[in-house]
Structure 1
Amino acid sequence: MARPRKSERDAAGIRLANAFWTLLEHHRLANITVGMVAEQAELNRGTFYYHFKSMDDLIDRAIEDEVLGNESVMQNVFGLIAGSSTVDSLETLINRKTDRFALLINQGGMDSFSIKIKCLMFGTWKTILCDEGEELSPSTRMIIEYSTSGVIGIIAYGALHGSGEVPPEFFPSFAKSNSDFLVRQIGIAQGIPHEAVLERVRTTLRIAGMNDR
């Protein structure tokens, strides 16, 4: 049997991820199985395992796509830092994206969501700030932890009380001030000049093709 073309593989992977998000609307995260996702996507289990090693792998990659993927919240937050996104564009995006974050919190629990998001942020900032063999300083990790916790806290508040309880303009405004604080403090903690941190963010966005999406 011929292997599927890349476009077909990509389409199947997207269908599986979308099936996961659909199931999460009605099921606890811990109760969703490979069989349920495959059935919802109208694909077989073999196709699932062609794309993902396990449910944990699917969940991790689904969250990563929401956090760092095309038209993601964090992509636009980094765009704010780099000057390629605006507060208005982030406000529009927030209205579409936070529902999935709220689903993860409500159906999977705050701890699991928080750990995954923070791991992604540590990894992203390490890519931006560190040359090969280097690590984030303890102070830098504490600043990222503090900043990310604030963002997660706002999302969690919306998940608990309803997104209507969070004024739509609040998160973009917070994200902008939080980003400015983050870049300046990270530069100090990591021993990198402020403008150099900004340039590293811009370079990372260009390499990832984020500014062109």
Structure 2
Amino acid sequence: MPRPRRDSEILPAKERLENAFWTLLADRPFKKITVTDVVHEARVNRNSFYYHFSGLPELADSAIMYELDRLPVPPVPDSHDDPLMIWHTFCSSMVSTPENIRHIDHLALLTSEHSTRELVDSLRDFLRLTLLSLLDETPNSITNTKRVLLDFAVGGILSLLAHWPETRHTVTLREVQNRDVAVLAMGLYVSMSRQDTNGFWERLYLDSTRYGGKESTTAGLEAYRI
């Protein structure tokens, strides 16, 4: 008996359903999307939908996690790493492929007028869990101070996603890799981690001294360019 044909160009039903979710969310408000819309867009039957998901909220959660799992993440610097170099490498990797841009485009839809409070809350929760995992923390192990920093970081990411459609074609990679931005981003990241922050701030101080303080932004950037 011949084996069933497997066409590598045909995506699995679950992935097609998730893709349909993003296509429809770009076209209309989430509250106006139905299961019928999704199965028609994905070209699967309703049984296939309910085999994978209990309803649209579960589909949305799965689609969000899929996008987050496929974006590059910066490693937590240790005493031997240069946090500013890590930031520059991370920024470069984020926009290095059309696939990464598409992941960001999808996540940005969750902050658009087509989204709902529930979708934003799901994105916020998944961002928190992703950062906690990167930092080797859990909701129960994290300190109150780090929880505040975590909320600040997640709020910043949500704000960036909200502005992404209007800035993606105007903001350059060089602007994002600006030393002041790098210090803010990596300083927050290191402070949330279990690493000793003294090394980061000492390295930053020595670099500022080497290049002349506040006027060193351009020189410092050149020194850390990819």
Could you state the TM-score of these two structures normalised by the residue count of structure 2? 0.64
2:28–2:114 contact (8 Å) kept in structure 1: no
The answer to whether structure 1 residue 22 and structure 2 residue 23 are counterparts is: yes
Paired residue type of 1:138: N
The Cα RMSD (Å) is 3.4
1:161-195 C-alpha deviation (Å, 9 max, x unpaired): 353243344446588545422332114xxxx3339
Corresponding position of 1:106 = 112
Taking structure 1 as reference, are residues 90 and 178 closer, same or farther at Cα in structure 2, changes over 3 Å only?
farther
The answer to whether structure 1 residue 78 and structure 2 residue 79 are counterparts is: no
1:81–1:179 contact (8 Å) kept in structure 2: no
Corresponding position of 1:56 = 57
Q: Percent identity?
A: 23
Taking structure 1 as reference, are residues 175 and 162 closer, same or farther at Cα in structure 2, changes over 3 Å only?
closer
- The runs of 5 or more residues in structure 2 that have no matched partner are 79-85, 198-226
Corresponding position of 1:122 = 128
2:124–2:158 contact (8 Å) kept in structure 1: no
**Matching residue within 194, 197, 200 for 2:196:** 194
Could you tell me how far apart the structure 2 residues matched to 1:152 and 1:130 are?
Answer: 21
Map 1:33-72 onto structure 2 (within 5 A). Answer: 33-67=34-68, 69-70=69-70, 72=71
The count of corresponding residues between Structure 1 and Structure 2 is: 178
Taking structure 1 as reference, are residues 182 and 110 closer, same or farther at Cα in structure 2, changes over 3 Å only?
farther
Could you tell me how far apart the structure 2 residues matched to 1:125 and 1:95 are?
Answer: 20
Map 1:89-100 onto structure 2 (within 5 A). Answer: 89-93=93-97, 95-100=101-106
Taking structure 1 as reference, are residues 179 and 65 closer, same or farther at Cα in structure 2, changes over 3 Å only?
farther
Paired residue type of 1:78: P
Paired residue type of 1:130: E
Name the structure with the higher helix share: 1
Secondary structure of the 1:77 match is: coil
Could you tell me how far apart the structure 2 residues matched to 1:143 and 1:44 are?
Answer: 45
Could you tell me how far apart the structure 2 residues matched to 1:63 and 1:149 are?
Answer: 17
Could you state the TM-score of these two structures normalised by the residue count of structure 1? 0.67
Could you tell me how far apart the structure 2 residues matched to 1:79 and 1:193 are?
Answer: 12
**Matching residue within 146, 151, 155 for 2:157:** 151
Taking structure 1 as reference, are residues 121 and 56 closer, same or farther at Cα in structure 2, changes over 3 Å only?
same
